């Protein structure tokens, strides 16, 4: 299994809309397995394919870390069907390391996707998620659409957040 370098804010791949996965084959299975390894080594709870340089619609979610299941969930071509509510929670992102900021998102989501199972089989799923699970799913689907969590902030907050992050990356005090 391989571990991929995670693309960092400013990399153009993070701002592109990802293409649907047309066929789920051994390459897709191996890639998603390597994404899971990368996510866990980076201590993330979710990872989208653009974050490792591929603009295809695949996300991995660590169900163990979310304490809602076991293993890593792999969603292919996820589509948001319904959102409800409003929740504010601090978010971070492996592609903007060290930056955490309160982000407003729906508190509940219904998503349809193909789920790639550990044995390589695929099944159609409709996931109803709330709170942190919903947030992680929405955060990762945003990546597939070229949207980073800082893009969800009001303009003035986004400028402050990015300036603070850039200073910290240069080793300056935020």
β-pair type (58-62, 72-84): antiparallel
Which entry of 90, 140, 157, 172 is annotated as an active-site residue?
A: 140
Residue 140: active-site member: yes
Q: What is the 3-state secondary structure (H, E, C) of 93-127?
A: CCCCCCCCEEEEECCEEEEEEEEECCCCCEEEEEE
Do 111 and 75 contact (CB within 8 A), yes or no? yes
Alpha helices in the chain (DSSP H): 26-41, 63-66, 131-144, 155-169
What CA–CA distance (Å, rounded) separates 93 from 3?
17
Q: Which positions are catalytic?
A: 140
């Amino acid at each position: 299994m391989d571990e991929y370098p995670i693309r960092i804010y400013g990399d153009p791949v993070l701002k592109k809309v990802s293409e649907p996965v047309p066929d789920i084959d051994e390459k897709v299975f191996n890639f998603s397995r390597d994404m899971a390894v990368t996510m866990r080594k980076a201590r993330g709870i979710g990872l989208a394919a653009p974050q490792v340089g591929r603009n295809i619609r695949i996300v991995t979610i660590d169900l163990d870390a979310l304490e809602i299941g076991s293993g890593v969930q792999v969603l292919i071509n996820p589509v948001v069907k319904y959102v409800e509510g409003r929740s504010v929670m601090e978010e971070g992102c492996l592609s903007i390391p060290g930056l955490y900021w309160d982000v407003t998102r729906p508190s509940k989501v219904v998503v349809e996707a193909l789920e790639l199972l550990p044995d390589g089989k695929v099944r159609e799923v409709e996931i109803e998620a709330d709170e942190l699970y919903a947030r992680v799913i929405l955060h990762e689907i945003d990546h597939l659409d070229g949207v980073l969590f800082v893009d969800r902030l009001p303009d003035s907050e986004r400028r402050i957040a990015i300036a603070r992050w850039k200073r910290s990356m240069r080793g300056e005090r935020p």
